[in-house]
Structure 1
Amino acid sequence: MPFKKLHSEIKEKLAELEISTPTLFQTKSIPVIKSGANVFCAAPLGSGKSTSLILTTMHKLKCEEVGTAPRAVVLVANNERAAELNDAFFKFTRHTSLRVYACDDKQHIDLLKSEIFEGVDILILTPKTMNKLLLLEGVNTTQLKIFSIDDASFLADNASYTALMAITQSIHKCQYVIYSEKIDPLLKRFESYFMQYAKKIVIK
């Protein structure tokens, strides 16, 4: 049971939320993500991908705040998804010291920089905003442990794809996890760049 080997604070929260049985996708994906490998995760809508992303991110960061630089980044398609994922994270992190921050594209970049500078553990944002922050030295990636891409279908957009390629070139060492409904040729291309030796979890 993959839930049994998660951090004790996560197990307490799962019990509180009455989540006791992992989905098939969670059973297969959580141990592989926990191993530290780069992973392509493909499964249909409703398979539990978002919860897997949240649980494995919290486990990786040991459910506690450390320093000021982000240790986890989650790339999303847009502001609406950033807000949704932020709310989903909050259900699990509110009794931990983990600091989750979702960037709002509509806010001025200087405001985002100052908010991140205050200290963030998990940063949720679009590729465009992440790239802009990197260009302006508004986010420090030296402490990054895990970099997740939520529902990667949005990378079919050329601007998002280009921004992602620029972002990954500025990150030296990190685990990458890509979530999608299927592993299409666009995603397979990443194996030549930042997804070397990636494992694949596919549920149909």
Structure 2
Amino acid sequence: MPFKKLIPPLKDTITHKGFDEPLAFQKQILSKIKGGTSLFAIAPKDSGKTTSMVISVVQRLKSAFEDAPRALIFVKDKQAALALELEFNLFKRGTDLRVYCAYEEHDIDIQRDEIYTGTDIVIATPKRLNKIFFLNGINLNKLQMCIVEDAEFLFRGHHFAEVTRTPESIGKCQYLIFSTAFDKRFERWKESFMYNAKIINAK
């Protein structure tokens, strides 16, 4: 998917940032993501994984719609959530897309209320997302994209199990897993809710 095929606000932002054309790995995955394919996107740091993900989400959602989130992105901690929110705020300029971060270091009742008022993209730690969900604080019925950013963190603590619970609560959805390596434990997801997923490995 060349950058010229993006929605105008996104194209303007990319031009302003000086991106002339996709990086090699981005050329491999952007069109597949746009086509709705679930992916394990495996590549070293600085391959453009995060930018690809942000561009793809903004391109897919385009504008605010109703109250329930349509994209859910799992990250390892508060710092990662806030950093990713900054990226989205850069790339969603010219759109009215709403981004919300949910993490442990914040009052859960406030987070639940703020999500309820309406958002398009939720960036969350697995533990906090599950707590909000079980408090009936987030509606996942409209979810179109479920993403894990820098997925290496999943295999520390109970994160893998916490993320695995989420597909049990949603219907048809595109799954995108971004990582620097393909862990054998991902095979469990390929055998269940990601059984049609492709592995794109830059290594």
What's the TM-score once normalised by structure 2's chain length?
0.96
| Per-residue deviation, 1:6 | 1.9
| Per-residue deviation, 1:4 | 2.2
Are 2:19 and 1:28 aligned? no
| Per-residue deviation, 1:2 | 2.4
| Number of residue equivalences | 203
Determine the structure 2 residue equivalent to 1:161. 160
Amino acid of the structure 1 residue aligned with 2:17: L
SS of equivalent to 2:119? coil
Determine the structure 1 residue equivalent to 2:53. 53
Amino acid of the structure 1 residue aligned with 2:38: N
Amino acid of the structure 2 residue aligned with 1:37: T
Name the % identity: 37
| Per-residue deviation, 1:105 | 1.5
| Per-residue deviation, 1:199 | 1.1
Determine the structure 1 residue equivalent to 2:85. 86
| Per-residue deviation, 1:130 | 1.0
CA distance, structure 2, for counterparts of residue 56 and residue 47 of structure 1: 15
| Per-residue deviation, 1:95 | 2.5
Counterpart contact for 2:13–2:93, Cα < 8 Å: no
SS of equivalent to 1:96? coil
Runs of 4+ with deviation above 6 angstroms: none
Determine the structure 2 residue equivalent to 1:114. 113
CA distance, structure 1, for counterparts of residue 102 and residue 36 of structure 2: 26
CA distance, structure 1, for counterparts of residue 50 and residue 42 of structure 2: 12
Amino acid of the structure 1 residue aligned with 2:15: A
Determine the structure 2 residue equivalent to 1:151. 150
Counterpart contact for 2:74–2:125, Cα < 8 Å: yes
**Deviations 1:171-197 (CA, angstroms, capped at 9, x unpaired):** 111100000001120222210122111
Determine the structure 1 residue equivalent to 2:94. 95
In structure 1, runs of 5+ residues without a counterpart are: none
Counterpart contact for 1:2–1:26, Cα < 8 Å: no
CA distance, structure 2, for counterparts of residue 37 and residue 68 of structure 1: 25
Determine the structure 2 residue equivalent to 1:41. 41
Counterpart contact for 2:68–2:119, Cα < 8 Å: yes
SS of equivalent to 1:176? strand
Amino acid of the structure 1 residue aligned with 2:39: V
| Per-residue deviation, 1:102 | 1.2
Counterpart contact for 1:142–1:172, Cα < 8 Å: yes
RMSD over aligned Cα, in angstroms? Answer: 1.1
Counterpart contact for 1:86–1:102, Cα < 8 Å: yes
In structure 2, runs of 5+ residues without a counterpart are: none
SS of equivalent to 1:134? helix
Counterpart contact for 1:39–1:200, Cα < 8 Å: yes
| Per-residue deviation, 1:104 | 3.1
Determine the structure 1 residue equivalent to 2:7. 7
